[in-house]
């Protein structure tokens, strides 16, 4: 288990290094003078010169890369061209908003999806199972930003049940502002997780140990809730971990639609103002988050499934 | 050729037998046909402004209303379908072709090349799709081509990994071993024997991937980072509708419903195809 | 009469399939007395598994009980409610399944599973764990206290089957069903487990219904044996009686084909030619007719299971010489 953990994080680290290098080279490969692109029409010769010195653009490319990595190791993602604040500070100030939205989305959709899937698997081929299956497929088909727009239109603009913009103040205010965004992000996950759990539940219910539990008179409710579900939900962790990239993508749109603070809004705002260090910093942080969550999902799976633990 | 054509008709018949598959087939067929003949069936010029008729609600002359420049929403929705497919099809086929080639090389080639390509796939996959797209758009500027390229890049790993797994499995199967023992060249083995076995699975993946691509294009256009105005795109409709959500909410519905419908259609079709082509996949995905 | 624990009376069970009804069991009749060990022997597909699942009423949804009764302590099991059945399972009747690798829940500890099956007991969890450890010791698992904390994958197949036996005997059942409990194990392990089962049986005095296709094990362990072929009982009776003087041609061939019984050196192991008939589309007359070397015209009619002498039944026209002469 320990060796597996080390290996898994080593792989995650390697992927991150390659990804960072690729992105760094990509930025430098863009035709034109990066400083002019970055500063746009505001560029004055003094500003240009200070930026060149600051980003070490007068050095050879491999040296620039080393300097960049050196900065990364110190937790330095560069400096915002306009405000002069550190990019790390800006990104981590926005990150909690995105994370709370994603977390709430995952929690409600996974809970409902698991319940729906388990219920459908326990009553296969009944009317409810069929309805759940049809609903699941339709939910899967709903892209988050379209759902966000329609939810905004119906529940915020027309019915005015929930606030349309912002993140809110205080616990209840924040929660109230989270309802529609997390509904939009979570909806497709409900269907996806329900289908996943239904399939894996049906598989588990056909296994020998379930027959054993039945042969010992253990109640069907208990068999489903604590014997089968415990195994059937294992793939859900993997799927959420791997789906982190997808969740972050949905978050970008949802934050724009509901004018919420967060890294999605940050990156879009930075693109419109051509604030490249912030754009790259945000993309890097979200990539790191994605790689990390995939690794954690794998480890969690190994931790919860004794079979996987011994196999690795 | 006649063999593959008859196989195709068997597959299509299998899909049509499944009710969801049939619905998918009908939706996808409708979208494709309306996209091909868009120029003839649109009731109004999708980019022609008509200020006197601006911001009209749905009516008999404008079924889905008009926007703030008086353009007919329905015409823009139909034309938007053409734009969506113009992005989705090249992106999906391009990604499939590159993924297939790299995946087969990884599965058949030497170990070090396999490891290298897998690292490449893993890295490409490690960027959250939209973040990656935004980074690229920020650097090279928004355009239809940028969107196609970005979408292609982000979906190569999926095809590559599946093609690699399939190649690895087939590589040690008896009929391939027999071919190798008889001295068949690598090109012959990969092209004649493996390709037909892999392409079916990738085709299913591609059908399931189309809606993701359509949604991504619409999303980028919604953010103003996709196709440039005045090109009618579903995402652009959503953008216009969002900007004036209190005045012209029908634009949001007009842009949102086709995306949901297209997603639904391609998903149904893809799932049905999967069941027909390879029932085993059902469990793995 | 009051010593009879389990009576199966004219039981017929079908599976509804797309090809039509699969007649998995037809007119099965036999009984098990208290404290007795009865063996059921037959090839795979002869209906042994259907029989067991019928006794426990753990049947697939497409199962139809066409006729007959399964009486346990005098009450018909087939008319009991699901709730009443659950009270029987794991308390009065328990079972050891064939494949020890699949018997236990992979993500729960053995201790948790052994505690869970004592769900009817009012004892505290500590007491239940104590009982579990004692049972593990009784089936020959060293250091039971420590092993209760382990997961199934940390045990070997033989160990897991011992645990399964411990689970089955925990409630001191009246009837233990053992469904080929040693088939998945090595020969040496098989002997150990059979010995252990025998000891525990004489200690607890429970009846055992022992299903196997291994005649040696049946001969070693059982008092009586029921021979099944293609969903029907072809012969039943005292173990010695049947092994020394089999009255049905199928039983005879089964004994001849058992590797343990082959005395002369042969290049090819003997087999029974032909195939088991299609249960969805049964032929007329005796089910063994097509594979029987001694078949005559009479075999176009179904022979009944006739009592030949006290405790020995067979379903074959060959045993009807006297009748045929008159």
Identity of the residue in B123, B215, B246 whose CB atom sits nearest the CB atom of A22: B123
- Which of B102-106, B196-200, C263-267 holds the top average pLDDT? B102-106
pLDDT number for residue B98 = 92
The lowest-confidence range among A238-252, B215-229, C108-122, C224-238 is: B215-229
Q: What are chain B's domains?
A: 11-284 (1.10.3720.10)
For residue B65, give every residue at least 6 positions away whose Cβ sits within 8 Å of its Cβ, in sequence order, or none.
Answer: B55, B56, B57, B58, B59, B73, B248, B250, B251, B254
- Mean pLDDT for B46-50 is 69
Residue C262: per-residue pLDDT: 56
CB A88 within 8 A of CB A75: yes
CA distances in angstroms from C179 to B33, C48, C99, C135, C211, listed in the order given: 61, 8, 9, 20, 5
pLDDT given for residue A308 in this prediction: 63
Q: Which of A:151-190 have CB within 8 Å of B?
A: 152-153, 157-158
Q: Which of B144, B147, B151 is nearest to B210 (CA)?
A: B151
**In the predicted model, is pLDDT for residue A111 greater than 90?**
yes
Question: Cβ of A140 under 8 Å from any chain B Cβ?
Answer: yes
pLDDT of residue C266: 58
The first and second tokens of residue A61, run together, are 């490319």
Residue extents of the structural domains in chain A? 95-310
Do the Cβ atoms of B119 and A282 come within 8 Å? no
Exposure letters C4-26 (e unless 16+ CB within 10 A, then b): bbbbbeebbbbbeeeeeebbbbb
Q: Which range among A3-7, A117-121, B74-78 has the greatest average pLDDT? A: A117-121
Q: Which residues contact B161 (CB under 8 A, 6 or more apart)?
A: B103, B118, B121
pLDDT at A102 over 80: yes
| Chain B 232-261, residues with CB within 8 Å of chain A CB atoms | 238, 241-242, 245-246, 249, 252-253, 256, 259-260
What's the rounded Cα separation, in Å, for the pair C288 and C268?
A: 23
Q: How far is CA C194 from CA C55, C101, C156, in A?
A: 23, 18, 17
User: Does the pLDDT of residue C326 top 50, yes or no?
Assistant: no
Place of tokens 């209760």: C148
The alpha carbons of chain A give a radius of gyration, in whole angstroms, of: 24
The pLDDT confidence band at residue A104, using thresholds 50, 70 and 90, is very high
CA B279 to chain centre: 22
Instruction: Judge: C58–A208 Cβ closer than 8 Å, yes or no.
Output: no
A touches which chains (3+ CB pairs under 8 A)?
A: B, C
Nearest CA in chain C to A204: C105
Q: Given an 8 Å threshold on Cβ–Cβ distance, is C86 in contact with A227?
A: no
Check pLDDT > 60 for residue A186: yes
CB B241 to CB A282 under 8 A?
no
Count CA atoms within 13 Å of residue C16 on its CB side.
6
d(CA C213, CA C201): 21
pLDDT at residue C153 above 70? yes
Q: Strand pairing of C75-76 and C63-72?
A: antiparallel
Q: Does A310 touch chain C (CB under 8 A)?
A: yes
Q: What's residue B281's pLDDT?
A: 46
* DSSP-assigned letter for residue C89: B
pLDDT at A106: 93
Are B257 and B268 in contact, with CB atoms under 8 Å apart? Answer: no
CB spacing of A227 vs C154 below 8 angstroms: no
Assign A85 a pLDDT band (cuts: 50, 70, 90): confident
- What per-residue confidence (pLDDT) applies to C269? 63
Per-residue pLDDT band for C226 (boundaries 50, 70, 90) equals very high
Identify the pLDDT of residue B174. 75
The mean pLDDT value for C77-84 works out to 87
Q: State residue C221's pLDDT score.
A: 87
Indicate the pLDDT class of residue A108, thresholds 50, 70 and 90: very high
pLDDT band at residue A103 under the 50/70/90 scheme: very high
At B91, list the tokens. 């992106």
pLDDT of residue C40: 92
pLDDT in tens, B117-158: 888 888 887 778 888 888 888 777 777 788 788 888 888 888
| Interchain pair C97, A212: CB under 8 A | yes
What is the token pair recorded at B200?
Answer: 């079916």
Q: Is the pLDDT of residue B4 over 70?
A: no
Does residue C65 sit in helix, strand or coil?
strand
Q: Residue with structure tokens 């995952």?
A: A106
* Rounded Cα distance, C238 and C236, in Å: 7
Q: How many CB atoms lie within 10 A of CB B116?
A: 13
Angle between helices B144-171 and B111-126 (to 10 degrees): 140
Residue (of B46, B225, B201, B216) closest to B128 by Cα position: B216
How much is the pLDDT for B283?
Answer: 40
Mean pLDDT of chain C: 84
Q: Which pair of tokens denotes residue B16?
A: 């049509």
Distance in angstroms (rounded) separating the CA atoms of residues A195 and A109: 12
Locate C112 and state its tokens.
């948790």
Tell if the CB–CB gap between A137 and B127 is shorter than 8 Å.
Answer: no
Interface test with B, best of A77, A149, A187 (most B CBs within 10 A): A149
How high is the pLDDT of residue A109? 92
Give the pLDDT confidence of C174-220 residue by residue, as tens digits: 999 988 888 777 778 888 888 888 888 888 888 999 998 888 888 88
Confirm if C69 and C11 have CB atoms less than 8 A apart: yes
pLDDT digits (tens, 9 = 90+) for A266-297: 988 888 877 777 888 888 888 888 888 888 88
Stated pTM of the model: 0.81
Higher-pLDDT residue of A223 and C270 is A223
Given a contact cutoff of 8 angstroms between Cβ atoms, the answer to whether A289 and A230 are in contact is no
**Of residues A209, A217, A310, nearest to C104 (C-beta):** A209
Write down the pLDDT at residue C209: 92
Helix (H, G, I), strand (E, B) or coil at C41: strand
- Res. A263: pLDDT tops 70: yes
Residues B218-245: tens digit of each pLDDT: 888 888 887 777 778 888 888 877 877 7
Distances (CA, A) of C322 to B7, B145, B160, C315, C318: 66, 96, 78, 15, 10
Query: Residue C296 above 50 pLDDT?
Result: yes
pLDDT, position B70: 65
CA distance C83 to C80: 8
Measure the CA–CA gap between A37 and A39, rounded to whole angstroms.
6
Q: Give A167 or C131, the one with higher predicted confidence.
A: C131
Q: Does B122 touch chain A (CB under 8 A)?
A: yes
- Which has more confidence, C54 or A134? C54
A177 or B184, higher pLDDT:
A177
Q: What is the DSSP string of A110-125?
A: HHHHHHHHHHHHHSTT
Could you read off the pLDDT of C94-103 as tens digits, one per residue? 999 888 888 8
pLDDT over 80 (residue C41): yes
Strand arrangement of the beta sheet that strand C312-314 belongs to? C93-96, C175-179, C207-212, C37-41, C224-229, C232-238, C312-314, C306-309
Which residues lie below 8 Å from residue A32, measured CB to CB, with a gap of 6+? none
| Cβ under 8 Å to A: B residues 23-52 | none
Structural domains of chain C, with CATH: 4-92+173-325 (3.40.50.300)
Instruction: At A229, list the tokens.
Output: 């579900």
CATH topology of domain A95-310: MetI-like fold (1.10.3720)
Is any Cβ of chain C less than 8 angstroms from the Cβ of A253?
Answer: no
- What mean pLDDT comes out for the span C22-49? 87
Q: How many residues does this entry show for chain A?
A: 312
Confidence check: pLDDT of B27 > 70? yes
Tokens of A72: 């990364």
Judging contacts by C-beta atoms under 8 Å, the chain B residues touching residue A22 are 123
| CA–CA gap between residue A266 and residue A252 (Å, rounded) | 9
Structure confidence by residue, pLDDT tens digits, A29-40? 766 666 666 666
Task: For C16, list phi and psi in degrees, rounded to 5.
Answer: -80, 120
C-alpha–C-alpha distance, residues B37 and C152, integer Å: 63
Query: Vertex C249, ends C243 and C255: CA angle to 5°?
Result: 35
Query: What is the distance between the alpha carbons of residues A175 and A178, in angstroms, rounded to a whole number?
Result: 5
Residue of C nearest to A220 (CA): C86
- What are the pLDDT digits (tens) for C239-275? 888 888 888 888 888 888 776 665 555 566 667 777 7
Tell me if residue A294 falls in helix, strand or coil.
Answer: helix
pLDDT value of residue B282: 44
Among C278, C304, C236, residue whose Cα is nearest residue C8: C236
Asked whether C and A share 3 or more beta-carbon pairs under 8 angstroms, the answer is yes
Q: What residues 201-240 of chain A have any CB closer than 8 A to a CB of chain C?
A: 207-209, 211-219, 227, 230-231
pLDDT tens across A196-217, in order?
898 889 888 888 889 889 888 8
Local structure of residue B228 (DSSP, 8 states): P
Give me the phi and psi of C229, to 5 degrees please: -145, 125
CA C99 to chain A, closest CA, distance in angstroms equals: 8
Which of C29, C22, C25, C82 lies closest to C56, judged by CA? C82
Q: How far apart are CA C154 and CA C106, in angstroms?
A: 10
Percentage of residues in chain B with pLDDT exceeding 70?
Answer: 86
Average pLDDT, chain A: 82
**Signed CA dihedral, B254, B259, B264, B269: sign only:** positive
Q: Does the distance separating the beta carbons of C119 and A214 come in below 8 Å?
A: no
Which among C106, C116, C175 is the top mutation candidate for probing chain A, defined by the most A β-carbons within 10 Å of its own β-carbon?
C106
Q: What is the ipTM metric for this complex?
A: 0.81
Using DSSP, how many helices (H) and how many strands (E) does chain B show?
13, 0
pLDDT tens sequence across B81-98: 888 888 888 889 999 999
């Amino acid at each position: 288990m320990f060796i597996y953990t080390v290996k898994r994080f080593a792989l995650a680290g390697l992927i991150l290094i390659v990804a960072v290098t690729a992105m760094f080279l990509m930025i430098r490969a863009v035709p034109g003078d990066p400083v002019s692109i970055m500063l746009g029409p505001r560029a004055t010769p003094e500003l240009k010169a200070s930026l060149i010195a600051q980003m070490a653009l007068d050095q050879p490319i491999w040296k620039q890369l080393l300097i960049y990595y050196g900065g990364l190791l110190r937790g330095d993602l560069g400096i915002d061209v306009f405000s002069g604040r550190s990019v790390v500070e800006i990104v981590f100030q926005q990150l909690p908003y995105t994370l709370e939205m994603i977390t709430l989305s995952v929690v409600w959709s996974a809970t409902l999806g698991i319940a729906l899937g388990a219920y459908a698997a326990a009553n296969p081929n009944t009317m409810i199972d069929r309805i759940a299956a049809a609903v699941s497929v339709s939910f899967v088909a709903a892209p988050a930003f379209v759902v966000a727009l329609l939810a905004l239109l119906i529940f915020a603009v027309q019915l005015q049940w929930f606030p349309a913009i912002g993140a809110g103040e205080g616990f209840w205010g924040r929660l109230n502002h989270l309802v529609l965004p997390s509904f939009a992000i979570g909806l497709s996950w409900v269907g996806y997780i329900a289908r996943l759990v239904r399939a894996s539940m049906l598989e588990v219910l056909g296994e020998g140990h379930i027959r054993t539990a039945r042969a010992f008179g253990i109640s069907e409710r208990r068999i489903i809730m604590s014997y089968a579900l415990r195994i059937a939900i294992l793939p859900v962790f993997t799927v959420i971990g791997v789906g982190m990239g997808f969740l972050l993508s949905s978050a970008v749109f949802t934050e724009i639609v509901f004018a919420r603070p967060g890294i999605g809004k940050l990156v879009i705002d930075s693109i419109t103002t051509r604030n490249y260090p912030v754009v790259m910093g945000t993309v890097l942080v979200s990539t790191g988050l994605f790689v990390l969550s995939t690794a954690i999902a794998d480890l969690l799976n190994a931790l919860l499934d004794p079979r996987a633990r011994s196999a690795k | 050729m006649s063999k593959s054509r008859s196989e195709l008709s068997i597959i299509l018949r299998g899909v049509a037998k499944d009710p969801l598959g049939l619905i998918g087939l009908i939706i996808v067929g409708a979208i494709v046909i309306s996209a091909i003949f868009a120029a003839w069936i649109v009731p109004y010029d999708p980019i022609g402004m008509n200020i006197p008729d601006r911001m009209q609600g749905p009516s008999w002359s404008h079924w889905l209303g008009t926007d703030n420049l008086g353009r007919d929403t329905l015409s823009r929705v139909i034309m938007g379908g053409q734009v969506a497919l113009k992005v989705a099809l090249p992106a999906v086929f391009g990604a499939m072709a590159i993924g297939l080639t790299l995946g087969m090389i990884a599965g058949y080639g030497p170990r070090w090349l396999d490891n290298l390509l897998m690292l490449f796939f893993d890295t490409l996959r490690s960027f959250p799709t939209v973040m990656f797209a935004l980074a690229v758009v920020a650097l090279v500027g928004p355009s239809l081509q940028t969107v196609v390229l970005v979408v292609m890049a982000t979906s190569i790993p999926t095809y590559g990994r599946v093609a690699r797994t399939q190649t690895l499995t087939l590589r040690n199967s008896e009929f391939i071993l027999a071919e190798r023992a008889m001295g068949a060249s690598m090109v012959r083995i990969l092209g004649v024997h493996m390709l037909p076995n892999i392409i079916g699975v990738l085709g299913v993946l591609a059908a399931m991937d189309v809606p993701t691509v359509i949604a991504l294009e619409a999303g980028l256009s919604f953010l103003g980072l996709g196709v440039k105005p005045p090109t009618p795109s579903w995402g652009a409709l959503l953008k216009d509708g969002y900007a004036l959500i209190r005045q012209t909410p029908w634009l949001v519905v007009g842009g949102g419903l086709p995306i949901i419908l297209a997603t639904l259609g391609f998903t149904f079709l893809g799932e049905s195809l999967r069941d027909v082509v390879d029932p085993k996949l059902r469990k793995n995905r | 009469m009051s010593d009879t624990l389990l009576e199966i009376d004219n039981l017929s069970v079908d599976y509804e399939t797309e090809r039509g009804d699969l007649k998995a069991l037809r007119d099965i009749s036999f009984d098990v007395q208290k404290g007795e060990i009865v063996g059921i022997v037959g090839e795979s597909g002869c209906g042994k598994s259907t029989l067991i699942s019928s006794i426990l009423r753990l049947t697939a949804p497409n199962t139809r009980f066409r006729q007959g009764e399964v009486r346990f302590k005098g009450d018909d099991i087939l008319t009991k409610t699901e709730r009443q059945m659950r009270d029987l399972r794991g308390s009065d009747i328990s079972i050891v399944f064939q494949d020890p690798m699949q018997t236990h829940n992979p993500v729960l500890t053995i201790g948790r599973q052994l505690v869970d099956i004592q769900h009817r007991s009012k004892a505290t969890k500590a007491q239940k764990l104590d009982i579990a450890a004692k049972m593990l010791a009784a089936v020959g698992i060293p250091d039971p206290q420590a092993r209760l904390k382990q997961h199934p994958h940390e045990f070997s197949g033989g160990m897991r089957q011992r645990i399964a036996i411990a689970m089955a005997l925990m409630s001191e059942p009246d009837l233990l069903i053992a469904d080929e409990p040693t088939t998945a194990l090595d020969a040496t392990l098989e002997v150990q487990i059979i010995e252990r089962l025998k000891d525990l049986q004489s200690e607890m005095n429970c009846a055992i219904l022992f299903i196997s296709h291994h005649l040696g094990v049946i001969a070693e362990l059982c008092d009586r044996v029921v021979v099944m072929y293609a969903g029907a009982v072809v012969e039943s009776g005292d173990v010695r009686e049947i092994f020394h003087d089999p009255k049905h041609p199928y039983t005879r061939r089964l004994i001849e084909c058992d590797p343990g019984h082959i005395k002369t050196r042969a290049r090819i192991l003997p087999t029974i030619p032909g195939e088991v008939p299609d249960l969805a589309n049964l032929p007329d007359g005796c089910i063994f007719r097509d594979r029987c070397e001694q078949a005559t015209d009479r075999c176009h009619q179904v022979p009944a299971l006739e009592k030949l002498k006290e405790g020995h039944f067979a379903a074959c026209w060959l045993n009807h010489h006297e009748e045929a002469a008159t």
